Amino acid sequence: MYDLIILGGGPAGYNAAERAAHGGLKTLLIEGRALGGVCLNEGCVPTKTLLYSAKIYDYAKHGAEYGVRFEGASLDHAAVIDRKGRVVKTLVGGIGATMKRAGVEVVNAYGEILGRDAEGFTVRAGDKEYKGSKLLICTGSTAAVPPIPGLREAVASGFAMTNREILDLKKKPEKLVVIGGGVIGLEMASYFNSIGSKVTVIEMLDHIAGPTDGEIGKILYKNYVRKGVEFLLGAKVTAVGSDSVRYELDGKEQSVKADAVLVSIGRRAMTQGIGLDSIGVLTDRGAVVTNEKMETNVANVWAAGDVNGKSMLAHTAYREGEVAVNNMLGKPDRMNYLSIPSVIYTNPEVASVGETSETVRAKGLDAKIESYTLKYSGRYIAENEGGDGIVKLIIDKEHRKILGVHMIGNYASEIIYGAAMMVDREMRVEQVQKLVFPHPTVGEVIREAMFMI
Residue nearest to ligand NAI (CB): 182
Rounded distance between C-alpha atoms, residue 253 and residue 239, angstroms = 10
Q: Between β-strands 236-240 and 244-249, what pairing exists: parallel, antiparallel or unpaired?
A: antiparallel
The single-letter DSSP state of residue 346 is S
Cβ 232 to ligand NAI shortest distance, Å: 9
First to last CA, the chain: 58
Q: In terms of CB distance, is 78 or 144 closer to ligand NAI? A: 144
Q: Is 207 tagged catalytic?
A: no
Q: In terms of CB distance, is 312 or 394 closer to ligand NAI? A: 312
Q: CB of 136 within 8 A of CB of 3?
A: no
Q: In terms of CB distance, is 56 or 239 closer to ligand NAI? A: 239
Cβ 39 to ligand NAI shortest distance, Å: 9
Which residues are near ligand NAI by CB under 6 A?
A: 146, 179-185, 187, 202-205, 210, 237, 264-267, 312-313, 342-345
Helix 77-102 × helix 11-22 angle, to 10°: 20
Single-letter amino acid, residue 185 = G
Q: In terms of CB distance, is 184 or 446 closer to ligand NAI? A: 184
Cβ 160 to ligand NAI shortest distance, Å: 12
The single-letter DSSP state of residue 276 is H
Alpha carbon distances (Å) from 20 to 34, 103, 141, 213: 20, 10, 23, 37
The single-letter DSSP state of residue 212 is S
Cβ 335 to ligand NAI shortest distance, Å: 16
Q: In terms of CB distance, is 318 or 345 closer to ligand NAI? A: 345
Cβ 308 to ligand NAI shortest distance, Å: 12
Rounded distance between C-alpha atoms, residue 300 and residue 133, angstroms = 7
The single-letter DSSP state of residue 33 is S
Rounded distance between C-alpha atoms, residue 431 and residue 83, angstroms = 45
Q: CB of 324 within 8 A of CB of 25?
A: no
Pick the catalytic residue: 62, 77, 399, 439? 439
Query: Mind telling me the catalytic residues?
Result: 439
